[in-house]
């Protein structure tokens, strides 16, 4: 047995206090030695800027007591079919408070993200001790920063928002009304409904919105006027605020929902033909070009109309004949079977098989039936050789998507040298960087956005008058 002397109570209490003080000191030392927590990284402000349709700039001001080790922007382009996005690392500079900037090219050789697209994004930071923090998610609509935009939303099924600038409110209202009519009438024709919100961006003129368009070539752009274009499943750009233009492009929104599947898009002849039908009147330019072709028996083979023409001299004929073919199917066989054709194609079959199932003929048969209705002789089509695969149906090229290669710029500067920073909650402020080239994930994202942004978006085109000399 070990005996220990008793310690008087007063001495014992003093020893206890000393022990507690020592333990507290050790805890404080330990806390001081721990890495800085995420609370030491503070996102002071974030903003976006779009000086023009070609780029976006994302900026943020950050405080980090231990200094930043890395900063990264992560963004998504919101899309009813599938959100697709990317991001990139941003160089950081020394200091406890710095500004970082990420530039994203939106209209270039590598990608096309149209004006009117909805974005969401957030920043991710890591300091020199390894502490990490993610900023809050922020959403905004990418608008052309050269103009002061206004907006109005009407309707609920679906809601439609129109954007305009300047003394253009009356044209914006025309676009809003025409959108509502086209959604209803084209939806009735195809027995389908668009369930997601629609955006219509109205420019005052084609020249005002030229930088927002994706170039198709000098000769084409010089001779063909672009009245409008559907650039995403939920987004239309309007350059000529005409009722027919708006109804046509909104018609493409409905045809996309009714007919475009996950792996195949509608041939242009039925997509454009239905969109011209949605106008209410095809217009004299289209019908005149078709009349001349019928007189000379120089109409287009239906199989050559799988994708929109790139020949300016064929534009009016292409649209006129596409409309006439669609009109023939509707008037001869009725609206219900035409809607069934859309559903059958969307289910995953080819257009030839869909036509065969619904009407009993393929595209060659339809072309001959249409020719007969126009008092043109039937044609004999070559039979594919034994063992030959099915005829390939071309699809429209995608409008362009964020590619896997990096482009744009990312910068980091001390706050006192950062120009034009307006802080959190400002209107779109942005300029662009690129998506990192990272294997399968980037490839998958590219394919998804090609499907999401690209399909069914060729423009309503009208031939420009020939330039005069003088």
Closest CA to 108 of 378, 329, 402: 402
Residue 217 Ramachandran class (φ > 0 left, ψ -120 to 50 alpha, else beta): left
Total number of domains constituting the chain: 2
Determine the pLDDT at residue 429.
29
Q: What gap in Å lies between CA 401 and CA 454, rounded to an integer?
A: 8
Q: Does 365 share its domain with 410?
A: no
| Numbers of helices and strands, H then E, in the chain | 11, 15
Range of the domain at 361: 266-380
Contact 334, 327 (CB under 8 A): no
Look at residue 341 and tell me if it is in a domain: yes
**Distance, CA of 286 to CA of 299 (rounded, Å):** 13
**pLDDT, tens digit only, all 470 positions of the chain:** 333 334 444 444 444 445 445 554 444 434 333 343 456 899 999 999 999 999 999 999 999 999 999 999 999 999 999 999 899 999 999 999 999 999 999 998 889 999 999 999 999 999 999 999 999 999 999 999 999 999 999 988 899 999 999 999 999 999 999 999 999 999 999 999 999 999 999 999 999 999 999 877 665 555 566 889 999 999 999 998 799 999 999 999 999 999 998 888 999 999 999 999 999 889 889 999 999 999 999 999 999 999 988 888 999 999 999 999 999 999 999 999 999 999 999 999 999 999 999 999 999 999 999 999 999 999 999 865 444 444 433 333 333 333 333 334 454 444 443 333 333 332 332 223 333 333 444 344 444 444 444 433 334 444 343 333 33
Do residues 397 and 376 touch, judged by C-beta distance below 8 A?
no
Whether residues 276 and 373 fall in one domain: yes
**Alpha carbon separation from 46 to 120, 144, 148, 399 (Å, rounded):** 13, 19, 21, 30
Is the same domain home to 376 and 407? no
**Is 344 within a domain?**
yes
Residues 373 and 411 in one domain: no
Tokens of 422: 């307006």
**What pLDDT was estimated at residue 425?**
31
Residue 467 lies in a domain: no
Backbone phi, psi, residue 281, to 5°: -145, 130
Decide if 448 is inside a domain. Answer: no
252 lies in some domain: no
pTM, entire model:
0.75
Structure tokens at 101: 């900037």
Name beta bridge partners: 232.
235
pLDDT of residue 26: 45
**210: which strand partners?**
none
| 368 and 272 in a common domain | yes
CATH number of the domain that residue 46 is part of: 2.60.40.10
Q: At what angle do helices 243-259 and 169-190 cross, to 10 degrees?
A: 40
Preceding amide of 248 cis, omega within 30: no
Q: Identify the pLDDT of residue 215.
A: 73
Q: 429 and 341 share a domain?
A: no
Q: Report the pLDDT value the prediction gives residue 469, as an integer from 0 to 100.
A: 36
H or E segment and range at residue 120:
strand 118-127
Q: What is the pLDDT of residue 383?
A: 67
Identify whether 198 is part of a domain.
no
Task: Please check whether residues 369 and 280 belong to one and the same domain.
Answer: yes
Asked whether residue 187 is assigned to any structural domain, the reply reads no
Are 44 and 104 within one domain? yes
SS3 361: coil
Q: What is the pLDDT of residue 413?
A: 47
In a domain, residue 330? The reply is yes
Residues with Cβ < 8 Å from 36, sequence gap 6 or more?
65, 66, 127, 129, 131
């Amino acid at each position: 047995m070990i005996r220990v002397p008793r310690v008087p109570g007063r001495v014992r209490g003093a020893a206890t206090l000393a022990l507690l003080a020592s333990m507290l000191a050790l805890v404080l030392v330990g806390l001081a030695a721990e890495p800085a927590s995420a609370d030491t990284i503070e996102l002071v402000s974030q903003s976006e800027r779009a000086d023009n349709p070609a780029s976006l700039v994302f900026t943020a001001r950050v405080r980090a007591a231990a200094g930043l080790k890395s900063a990264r922007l992560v963004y998504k382009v919101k899309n009813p079919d599938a959100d697709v996005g990317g991001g990139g690392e941003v160089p950081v500079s020394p200091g406890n408070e710095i500004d970082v900037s990420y530039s994203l090219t939106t209209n270039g050789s590598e990608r096309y993200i149209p004006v009117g697209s909805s974005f969401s994004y957030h920043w991710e930071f890591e300091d020199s001790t390894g502490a990490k923090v993610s900023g809050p998610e922020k959403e905004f609509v990418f608008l052309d920063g050269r103009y002061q935009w206004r907006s109005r939303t009407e309707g609920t099924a679906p809601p439609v928002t129109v954007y305009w600038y300047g003394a253009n409110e009356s044209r914006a209202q025309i676009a809003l009304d025409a959108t509502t009519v086209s959604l209803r009438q084209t939806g009735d024709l195809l027995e389908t409904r668009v369930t997601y919100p629609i955006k219509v961006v109205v420019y005052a003129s084609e020249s005002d919105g030229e930088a927002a368009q994706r170039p198709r070539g000098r000769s084409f752009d010089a001779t063909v006027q672009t009245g409008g274009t559907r650039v995403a499943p939920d987004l239309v750009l309007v350059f000529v605020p005409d009722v027919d233009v708006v109804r046509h492009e909104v018609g493409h929104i409905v045809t996309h929902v009714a007919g475009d599947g996950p792996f195949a898009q509608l041939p242009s002849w039925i997509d454009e033909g239905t969109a011209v039908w949605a106008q209410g009147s095809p217009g004299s330019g289209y019908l005149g070009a078709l009349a001349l072709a019928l007189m000379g028996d120089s109409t287009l083979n239906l199989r050559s109309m799988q994708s929109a023409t790139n020949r300016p001299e064929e534009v009016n004929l292409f649209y006129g004949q596409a409309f006439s073919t669609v009109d023939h199917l509707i008037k001869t066989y009725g609206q219900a079977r035409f809607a069934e054709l859309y559903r059958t194609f969307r289910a995953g079959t080819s257009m030839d098989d869909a036509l065969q199932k619904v009407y009993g003929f393929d595209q060659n048969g339809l072309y001959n039936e249409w020719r007969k209705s126009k008092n043109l002789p039937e044609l004999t089509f070559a039979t594919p050789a034994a063992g030959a695969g099915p005829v390939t149906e071309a699809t429209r090229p995608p409008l362009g998507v964020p590619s896997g290669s990096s482009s744009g710029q990312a910068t980091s500067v001390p706050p006192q040298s950062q120009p034009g920073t307006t802080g959190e909650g400002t209107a779109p402020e942005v300029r662009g960087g690129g998506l990192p080239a990272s294997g399968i994930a980037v490839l998958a994202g590219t394919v998804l956005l090609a499907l999401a942004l690209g399909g069914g978006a060729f423009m309503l085109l009208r031939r420009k008058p020939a330039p005069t000399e003088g």
